[in-house]
Amino acid sequence: MEVLIKDGSKLQVNDNASVLDVAKQISEGLARNAICGKVNDKLCQLSAPVKQGDMVEIVTLKDKEGMEVFRHTSAHILALAVKRLYPNTKISIGPAIENGFYYDFDFAEPIGQDDLPKIEAEMAKIIKENVKFERIEVTRKEAEKIFKELDEPYKLDILAGIPDDEILTLYKSAELTDLCRGPHLEDISIIKAFKLQNVTGAYFKGDEHNKMLTRIYGTSFPKKSELDEYLAMLEEAKKRDHRKLGKELGLFFISEYAPGMPFYMPKGVILKNELIKYWREIHKKAGYVEIETPTAMSRELWEISGHWDHYRQNMYTFKADEDKDYAIKPMNCPGCMLYYKEYIHSYKDLPLRVGELGKVHRKEASGTLHGLFRVRAFTQDDAHIFMLPSQIESEIANVLSLVDEAYKVFNLSYTLELSTMPEDHIGDIADWQKVESALENALKHLGKEYSINAGDGAFYGPKIDIHIKDALGRTWQCGTIQLDMQLPKRFELSYIDADGSKQEPIMIHRVIYGSIDRFLGIMTENFAGAFPLWLAPVQVQVITISEKQNDYARSIRDKLDSAGIRVDFDDRNEKVGYKIREAQLQKIPYMVVLGDEEVAEGKISVRHRHLGDLGKMDLNDFINSLNKEISTKEIK
């Protein structure tokens, strides 16, 4: 029979061929590296049969899906190890996640971090045994019977939400039988390195009304060197944790009286304001106007926008004006729609680029809150572009050009991901297809590489998500470009076209930072708190060797301050070495060290936090060099 392979060519295989047989026929090397397969775009075991005309793709560890299968299998090995060591434990779910996996358990007796080495040892035994995963197809009723006999209440709960006629897959491996789509590794001996990292609590199905289970997190790699490298990166990430640095550097704190709502201290406000100042500079240059809309607006507005029906669970609502419903805005878009409606627009006015640094509030679950990365109150660097259909491609190009300019300043690379229509969406499918094609065509014409994230668009339109890579190689989704034909329709937005007819504008939602607060947290970790000079809350620390130089030091400080440099003077009666170390710990870019020699010569001695002693120089030369470094936003 004949099957199709990834490059579009046809391949003759035996009538009873499996995915692995197809891999062998392509090349022995590919077969050796194969993890699983995709038949007609559906993941499957290597042992899965193929049929006439099937499209067959071989998945290796170089593919994202290959590592997901590798780590999902690792999660099942963890579950089997737990079942062997703690037979009375009830199992829940165990997915692969970014860089690892986890599994949720209901232990008869509590376990902790100290128990992980014992579980790891059992996992190593299982891998050495090369335990096989047997795939079994069953009906829902057959699955219920099996899990009742096994006394697995969480699996029965999951089964209760599945239709009677659906065919399910179970995977049996020694003492473990699990409800799972698969696929799994055919040979688990390729899992050469793994580590169980921590134990936490997690509600079943993420619902706080359900029982709290024990979640064990782990990671796994095909090579020990890769695991060592990853664990070293995690150690470095701990040192860079923005919550730790935020406290040490006096940037922000979060109070128990306002969970998820950051308090910015003076240095943190400087950082935030510098990010905002730069945002305003590049947006003014790119032709944006800036507006400000109210923090709370009435229910009717949110019903028109669709948020009341599709997003209310994440909104803070309250009663006012004789029991009328209001909501604190979770996003800025509806307010900008009202701004557009205030005026009659001509086609000549478009594109109209409107920015807003709007404070928004979202009701996030307490268990998901994490420093500045996941908060309930934050400032979005929002912008909405109203345009003609013919301007879609050029405006997307303009936004991506702005993204290039902004991220280059922070020395960040990025990748693009096109997210398409989700199940929970508003608007006609034909409209969705039209705008999805427009986004994809724009990316292709611009020569941009991108991946597809099917079904992950916003409820009102598809989007291009922008993922930045930080100094540790971690990726963060910050910027986004969302094309919207729904809100203009819902708000009855219009413009007068060249022929005098009323037409509906196309709209782009877009952010560059995403959230200024989250971006500040990411940059804190990216630079390990040692911000570039233009961003640093304190740019220069003046230090004296003894109190005799204090008057000269104050004059130096005042001149730096007059030149617009953010400067502090450490006048404590401490040893100079101690004061230099303190300035280094505070990640201050430059130190001006003054002794009797400097006073006598009317000079300054300069130290850089990374480059060390830069020698003596004239104050004006130093100020000129600082201004140049600030204006170019150089990263030293």
Q: For residue 441, what pLDDT is reported? A: 85
Tell me the residue type at 240: R
What CA–CA distance (Å, rounded) separates 145 from 156? 9
| CATH value at residue 43 | 3.10.20.30
Same domain for 268 and 414, yes or no, is yes
Q: What is the pLDDT of residue 599?
A: 95
**Whole-number pLDDT of residue 446:** 81
Tell me whether residue 110 is exposed, middle or buried, using C-beta atoms within 10 angstroms of its C-beta: 0 to 12, 13 to 18, 19 or more.
Answer: exposed
- The CATH number that applies at residue 217 is 3.30.980.10
**Residues classed as catalytic:** 333, 362, 380, 382, 384, 463, 509
Predicted local distance difference test score (pLDDT) of residue 440 = 87
Asked whether residue 271 falls in the same domain as residue 174, the answer is no
Quote the pLDDT of residue 594. Answer: 96
Q: In this structure, are 90 and 229 located in the same domain?
A: yes
Rounded-to-integer distance, Cα 317 and Cα 634, Å? 45
Same domain, 233 and 273: no
My answer on whether 56 and 69 are in the same domain is no
Give the model's pLDDT for residue 377. 96
Q: What is the pLDDT of residue 527?
A: 96
Please check whether residue 376 lies inside any domain of the structure: no
DSSP notation for 547-611: GGGHHHHHHHHHHHHHTT--EEEE--SS-HHHHHHHHHHTT-SEEEEE-HHHHHHT-EEEEETTT
What per-residue confidence (pLDDT) applies to 437? 86
pLDDT at residue 194, rounded to an integer = 97
Residue 248 located in a structural domain: no
Pairing between β-strand 506-511 and β-strand 475-484 as defined by DSSP bridges: antiparallel
pLDDT at 168: 92
Q: Are residues 130 and 187 both part of a single domain?
A: yes
Answer yes or no: is 390 within a domain: yes
Query: What is residue 122's predicted lDDT score, i.e. its pLDDT?
Result: 97
Range of the structural domain that residue 83 is part of: 65-238
Q: Which stretches of the chain drop beneath a pLDDT of 70?
A: none
Q: Same domain for 339 and 455?
A: yes
Q: What pLDDT does 309 receive?
A: 87
Q: Which CATH number does the domain housing residue 612 bear? A: 3.40.50.800
> Is 28 inside any structural domain?
yes
d(CA 608, CA 611): 5
Q: Is 256 exposed, middle or buried (0-12, 13-18, 19+ CB in 10 A)?
A: exposed
The residue type of 22 is: V
Looking at the structure, do residues 11 and 71 belong to the same domain, yes or no? no
SS3 251: coil
Lookup result for tokens 């109190």:
547
Q: Are 449 and 391 found together in one domain?
A: yes
pLDDT in tens, 451-474: 988 888 887 788 999 999 988 888
Residue 422 lies in a domain: yes
What pLDDT does residue 206 have? Answer: 83
Provide the pLDDT for residue 367: 81
Q: Does residue 250 lie within any of the structural domains? A: no
Number of domains making up the chain:
4
Of 526, 560, 582, which closes a domain?
Answer: 526
Check whether residue 208 and residue 342 sit in a common domain: no
Structural domain includes residue 462 = yes
Q: Is 28 exposed, middle or buried (0-12, 13-18, 19+ CB in 10 A)?
A: exposed
User: b/e string for 88-103 if b means 16 or more Cβ within 10 A?
Assistant: ebbbbbbebeeebbbb
* 36 and 179 part of one domain: no
Those residues with Cβ within 8 angstroms of residue 294's Cβ, 6 or more apart along the chain or in another chain: 329, 335
Domain final residue, candidates 204, 223, 238: 238
Same domain, 470 and 401: yes
Radius of gyration over alpha carbons of the chain, in Å?
Answer: 29
